[in-house]
């Protein structure tokens, strides 16, 4: 199959780019055509993209010299998934996009919808799962559920690359044992979820998973980028280092439009 060039691949509309964060078109490109996120080609054999949004990473992977053999992206925002199905899959039929129809008050409202659903993936089928800026919007119980799903769908040698907002609960003595997340928005708890780092490490350990690489946030308290693998992969787990980045502000977006109405 011939590779699509970047200008053949459509760019998602501005209001969708705004929903996922970066609006700059360059953030959706891959001029070097190298594997994304500095990964080895071997990792990109079969890719599951949790919270694929409007296909930012899928689009970059489509531009790689060596594309994944299989890609499944899923997201709870129906409009963005439809956009990817209609605009990206025709350029690369091995890229499949699935609507994950769970209730989300801003992006996919519906009290009748389930709060969580299994990932659209077979057991131990994927060499790589990506979850960029997704666990940062996943409330504690749902984060635990989806981490369990990670342990189900990743191959023994598989890798999860995911970003997290993390805090240290030992500085918050009022928090109960079952309270392991901070929420910044009373009206929409999903808008930013900050998980306790100790809770994350223990939760992963209980699932036979652990952190093998950690990139601390560029601004203290912002997103960590973690590489997570199974015990079976044989790579030693690490303890998270301290967050000693410079202080700064990177504000959580407050969307101007009703996100669920963006088609």
Ligand X SMILES: C[S@@+](CC[C@H](N)C(=O)[O-])C[C@H]1O[C@@H](n2cnc3c(N)ncnc32)[C@H](O)[C@@H]1O
Positions that interact with ligand X (CB under 6 A): 20-21, 51-53, 56-57, 74-77, 80, 100, 102, 107, 132-134, 137-138
Between 146 and 199, whose beta carbon lies closer to ligand X?
146
Between 116 and 212, whose beta carbon lies closer to ligand X?
116
Q: Are strands 193-196 and 181-183 parallel, antiparallel or unpaired?
A: antiparallel
Between 101 and 235, whose beta carbon lies closer to ligand X?
101
Nearest Cα neighbor of 9 from 25, 24, 21, 23 is: 25
Q: What beta strand segments (E) does the chain contain?
A: 46-50, 70-75, 95-99, 126-131, 154-167, 181-183, 193-196, 209-215, 224-230
Cβ–Cβ < 8 Å for 119, 48:
yes
Which pair of structure tokens corresponds to residue 230? Answer: 């199974």
CB of 192 to ligand X, least distance (A): 10
Question: Which residues have C-beta within 8 Å of that of residue 242, sequence separation ≥ 6?
Answer: none
CB of 49 to ligand X, least distance (A): 7
CB of 242 to ligand X, least distance (A): 26
CB of 102 to ligand X, least distance (A): 6
CB of 75 to ligand X, least distance (A): 4
Buried b (16+ CB within 10 A) or exposed e, 84-113: bbebbbebbeebbbbbbeeebebbbeeeee
CB of 258 to ligand X, least distance (A): 14
Between 84 and 211, whose beta carbon lies closer to ligand X?
84
Q: What is the DSSP string of 117-132?
A: ---S--TT-EEEEEET
Q: Are strands 224-230 and 154-167 parallel, antiparallel or unpaired?
A: antiparallel
Between 6 and 233, whose beta carbon lies closer to ligand X?
6
Between 100 and 229, whose beta carbon lies closer to ligand X?
100
CA–CA separation, 150 and 165 (whole Å): 18
Q: Are strands 95-99 and 70-75 parallel, antiparallel or unpaired?
A: parallel
CB of 176 to ligand X, least distance (A): 24
Calculate ∠ Cα 36-38-40, nearest 5°.
90
Between 145 and 237, whose beta carbon lies closer to ligand X?
145
């Amino acid at each position: 199959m011939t590779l699509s060039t970047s200008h053949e691949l459509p760019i998602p509309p501005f209001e969708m780019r705004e929903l996922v964060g970066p609006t700059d078109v360059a953030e959706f490109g891959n001029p070097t055509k190298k594997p994304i996120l500095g990964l080895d080609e071997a990792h990109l054999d079969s890719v599951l993209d949790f919270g694929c949004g409007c296909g930012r990473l899928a689009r970059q992977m489509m531009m790689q010299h060596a594309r994944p053999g299989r890609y499944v992206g899923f997201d709870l925002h129906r409009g963005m998934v439809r956009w990817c199905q209609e605009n990206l899959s025709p350029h690369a039929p091995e890229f499949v996009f699935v609507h994950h129809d769970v209730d989300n008050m801003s992006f996919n409202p519906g009290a009748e919808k389930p709060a969580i659903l299994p990932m659209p993936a077979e057991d131990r089928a994927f060499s790589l799962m990506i979850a960029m800026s997704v666990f940062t919007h996943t409330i504690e119980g749902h984060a635990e559920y989806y981490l369990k799903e990670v342990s189900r769908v990743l191959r023994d040698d598989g890798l999860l690359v995911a970003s997290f907002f993390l805090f240290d609960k030992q500085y918050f003595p009022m928090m109960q044992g079952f309270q392991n997340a901070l929420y910044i928005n009373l009206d929409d708890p999903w808008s930013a979820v900050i998980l306790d780092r100790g809770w994350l490490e223990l939760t992963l350990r209980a699932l036979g998973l652990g952190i093998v690489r950690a990139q601390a946030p560029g601004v203290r308290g912002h997103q960590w980028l973690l590489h997570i693998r199974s015990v079976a992969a044989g790579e030693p787990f690490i303890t998270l280092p301290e967050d000693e980045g410079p202080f700064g502000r990177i504000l959580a977006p407050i969307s101007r439009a009703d996100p669920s109405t963006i088609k």
